[in-house]
């Protein structure tokens, strides 16, 4: 059986920066209120007709350059997103020709904030069984076009930003599993009983005879809805559980990990997780302060930023965990 490793990463965010002070001009909120509840100070939003696949393209090009490969070596494309360009076809199919690729499989992963780790798990499995050799995995989101930017929607809209992150995952023959760079294991979970605690209700085929009605629009059902307290409590508990499982599976301890790259939903969630597990603050790399929550893009964006900051180095042992809509949650351990 083969193993897989991440050989390159990249990210991209749109140029426009939206600060908390900018949001205070759109809705009844303040910089202090947002920072206290989420840790977010600013985020990037697209302008004009920029699409999710446009952001993904830039991140993919950055990752391919980082990996030092010819894009023709890519034999599978995977795209994690909750904000595709269109309902159908899938975002990966829209991205594929923009990358100058054709015929290789183009797969969408729709697991929201856990999407990147779900995609990473799938890529690792594909490579382990020998089906593919070099997989390009991207997470990209545009939230700014789909949020209620009034006081009614502030609890959700202040949290999200636009951006993309990508990695190249490649087959590797591992000689020393303790020391060689590779993905050790991934762990995926879901509990759909909580689906309506974090969801976008309309438009949808489950809404009756019509995907969306005037009444739906007036009620704001076309915007994301979140039960914040329930999401927060479950995120801390589930991320801790699956993180410990990942470590136990690989006979590792928390102190063995060099860097923790968690999903960036809320800085307070990551701080609570660190407090409960007694993880030193300097071992956690957070980006939410300047990017907000970019759902499927947060972890690969964090990888790319950590490399550039000198925090993620060759040989680093890394642990990641994510939690999001579904509810879904996931974890992974890998050596860079």
What one-character-per-residue DSSP string does 90-114 give? -HHHHHHHHTT--SS-EEEE--GGG
Write out pLDDT tens, residues 24-77.
Answer: 999 999 999 999 999 999 999 999 999 999 999 999 999 999 999 999 999 999
Query: Do 233 and 319 meet the contact criterion of CB atoms below 8 Å apart?
Result: no
Write out pLDDT tens, residues 227-255.
Answer: 999 999 999 999 999 999 999 999 999 99
Q: Residue 7: pLDDT above 90?
A: yes
CATH topology of domain 3-172: Peroxisomal Thiolase; Chain A, domain 1 (3.40.47)
SS3 173: coil
Pull the structure tokens for residue 279: 């993880």
Task: Report, in angstroms and rounded to the nearest whole number, the Rg of the chain calculated over CA atoms.
Answer: 19
Position of tokens 């993904």?
A: 56
Residue 1 — pLDDT band, cuts 50, 70, 90? confident
Helices 91-98 + 52-67 axis angle, to 10: 60
Q: Do domains 3-172 and 182-335 have the same CATH topology?
A: yes
Query: Dihedral sign, CA of 193, 198, 202, 203?
Result: negative
Q: What pLDDT, on the 0 to 100 scale, is given for residue 154? A: 94
Q: Residue 214: pLDDT above 80?
A: yes
Q: What CA–CA distance (Å, rounded) separates 317 from 96?
A: 32
Q: What pLDDT, on the 0 to 100 scale, is given for residue 115? A: 98
Q: Where are the domains of the chain?
A: 3-172, 182-335
Q: Which CATH number fits domain 182-335: 3.30.40.230, 3.40.47.10, 3.40.50.10810, 3.50.50.60?
A: 3.40.47.10
Pull the structure tokens for residue 327: 């509810």
Pull the structure tokens for residue 123: 């890529």
Write out pLDDT tens, residues 21-35.
Answer: 999 999 999 999 999
From the CB of residue 229, how many other CB atoms can be counted at a distance below 10 Å?
9
pTM check: above 0.75:
yes
Q: What pLDDT, on the 0 to 100 scale, is given for residue 25? A: 97
- Residues belonging to the active site: 113, 263, 293
Q: Mean pLDDT, the chain, as a whole number? A: 97
């Amino acid at each position: 059986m083969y193993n897989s490793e991440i050989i390159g990463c990249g990210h991209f965010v749109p140029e426009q920066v939206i600060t908390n002070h900018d949001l205070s001009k759109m809705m009844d909120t303040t910089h202090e209120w947002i920072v206290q509840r989420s840790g977010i100070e600013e985020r990037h939003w697209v302008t004009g007709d920029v699409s999710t696949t446009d952001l993904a393209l830039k991140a993919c090009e950055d990752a391919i350059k980082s990996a030092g490969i010819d894009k023709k070596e890519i034999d599978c494309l995977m795209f994690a997103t909750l904000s595709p360009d269109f309902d159908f076809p899938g975002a990966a199919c829209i991205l594929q020709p923009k990358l100058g690729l054709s015929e290789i499989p183009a797969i969408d992963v729709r697991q929201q904030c856990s999407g990147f780790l779900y995609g990473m798990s799938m890529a690792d499995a594909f490579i382990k069984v020998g089906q593919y050799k070099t997989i390009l995995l991207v997470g990209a989101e545009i939230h700014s076009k789909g949020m209620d930017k009034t006081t009614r929607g502030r609890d959700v809209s202040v949290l999200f930003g636009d951006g993309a992150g990508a990695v190249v995952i490649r087959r590797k023959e591992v000689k020393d599993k303790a020391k060689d760079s590779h993905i050790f294991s991934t762990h995926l979970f879901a509990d759909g009983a909580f689906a309506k605690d974090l969801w976008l209700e309309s438009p949808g085929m489950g809404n009756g005879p019509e995907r969306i009605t005037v009444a739906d629009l007036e009620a704001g059902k076309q915007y994301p809805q979140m039960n914040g307290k329930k999401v927060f409590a479950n995120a801390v508990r589930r991320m801790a559980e699956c993180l410990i499982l990942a470590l136990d599976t690989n006979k590792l301890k928390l102190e063995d990990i060099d860097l923790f790259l968690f999903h960036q939903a809320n800085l307070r969630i990551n701080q609570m997780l660190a407090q409960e597990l007694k993880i030193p603050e300097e071992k956690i790399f957070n980006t939410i302060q300047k990017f907000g929550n970019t759902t499927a893009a947060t972890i690969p964006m964090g990888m790319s930023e950590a490399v550039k900051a000198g925090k993620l180095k060759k040989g680093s042992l890394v642990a990641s965990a994510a939690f999001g809509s579904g509810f879904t949650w996931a974890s992974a351990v890998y050596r860079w």
